[in-house]
Amino acid sequence: IFDEVMTGFRVSLGGVQERFGITPDLSCFGKIIGGGLPVGAFGGRAEVMDVLAPDGPVYQAGTLSGNPLAMAAGLATLEELKTGSAHEQLETIGTRLE
């Protein structure tokens, strides 16, 4: 299980796992998705995710599930990271700091 609750998308769109070439069975993300709003998300390899409802026997629920404002913020954040240049700017600044 790869916990990206703190690291999230701070180093790359694919998180620290992308940056270091790690392929975990399961990844979890937190408020980094929604810019501080109450969001929680997880994802994983197909053989893990396939056991979750509605396809599998394991029901998953959470206190941060389905908040419309947080989901809208999350989608906007991911879209900005996908189309913007935030990570490139961070790399440039980081290189100058070295």
Give the start-to-end residue ranges of the domains of the chain. Answer: 2-97
Report the alpha-carbon distance of residue 22 to residue 59 in Å, rounded. 27
Report the alpha-carbon distance of residue 36 to residue 31 in Å, rounded. 5
| The model's pTM | 0.75
CATH number of 2-97: 3.40.640.10
Flag whether pLDDT at 44 surpasses 80. Answer: yes
Provide the pLDDT for residue 12.
Answer: 87
- CB contact burial 60-85 (16+ within 10 A = b; e otherwise): eeeeeeebeebbebbeebeeebeeee
Provide the pLDDT for residue 9.
Answer: 87
Looking at residue 14, its amino acid is G
pLDDT-based confidence at residue 27 (cuts at 50, 70, 90): very high
